[in-house]
Amino acid sequence: MYKLMVSDLDETLLRDDGTISDANVAAIKAASKLGVKFVPNTGRGFASVQALLKILGTYDEPDQYVISYNGGAVVENKNNEVILTNQLPYEHAKQIFDLMYAHPEVGIHVYTLHTLYLYHPRKDDLDYLASRGVEYKIMNDDDFSIFKPKHIMKVIFMNPDIDVRHAIAEPIYEQVKDFADMTYSSNQYAEYNAKGVNKGTATMALAKKLGLNADQVIAFGDNSNDLPMLHAVGMPVSVANGIPAVKDVAKLVTTADYEDGVAEAIHKLILDK
């Protein structure tokens, strides 16, 4: 019945340190042998996912895919060919950046199609990115005009304090909601994509390309930026550490967390049927 699995990475498929359990790897590979395609669906850029693809056996393979930037890009793994982009217009991205810039307590990320730029990075943010193998460039000043010729995928900020995040993110969203959507991720980020761009729309665009309908798709998630894909698919799954809103949407909530919750669900839905 199921032909496609899409999964958030951090805190869903991957452990706190960014590694993947043997159980998750084995279950994904076993389902793949049965013809069920596995696609990472992440807020990160696709370049940072390459090491994981090697572990899963889909690195540089044709007809295998990654959804990145919260749906901002869909990439075929062979030669990292970009097959779909949903970028944030420069003027909108600059307005979001300028609103974040007024808050020195946050670190700002600007994601272009191929590069992550950091402005005023926090040490805890740099440590987290290092654990995920994410490469980046540091912005030496606040000259946003460097992004005029680039494809901007999203603009986000980082602060680990939930009260600080909400106090900054919500007023910004009120000012940009006509052209941007906002989600939270990894218990430290507030993310802004172009309006209507999310993990769900990208999932269904890929499903359509593959000739599949929603009932043939499983999605795994844990946080608010996963909600659009969980709403979009026929079988939404929350790992045990999912936030309450994710668990409310899920048709299956695993007893295991990111350690092997994905493996648990794959066994229940595919391998042990």
Q: What are phi and psi of 170, to 5 degrees?
A: -65, -45
- pLDDT value, residue 174: 98
Q: What are phi and psi of 145, to 5 degrees?
A: -65, -15
Average model confidence (pLDDT) for the chain? 97
Give tens-digit pLDDT for 124-151: 999 999 999 899 999 999 999 999 999 9
State the DSSP string of 161-221.
Answer: -HHHHHHHHHHHHHHHTTTEEEEEETTTEEEEEETT-SHHHHHHHHHHHTT--GGGEEEEE
Domains of the chain: 4-85+198-271 (3.40.50.1000), 90-194 (3.30.1240.10)
Amino acid at 113: L
- Answer yes or no: are the C-beta atoms of 240 and 255 closer than 8 Å: yes
- pLDDT value, residue 239: 98
Q: Quote the pTM value.
A: 0.91
Give tens-digit pLDDT for 50-109: 999 999 999 999 999 999 999 999 999 999 999 999 999 999 999 999 999 999 999 999
- pLDDT value, residue 167: 98
| Beta strand residue intervals within 8-80, DSSP E | 37-40, 65-68, 73-76
Give tens-digit pLDDT for 35-52: 999 999 999 999 999 999
Whether 273 has a pLDDT exceeding 90, the answer reads no
Give tens-digit pLDDT for 163-218: 999 999 999 999 999 999 999 998 999 999 999 999 999 999 999 999 999 999 99
First to last CA, the chain: 11
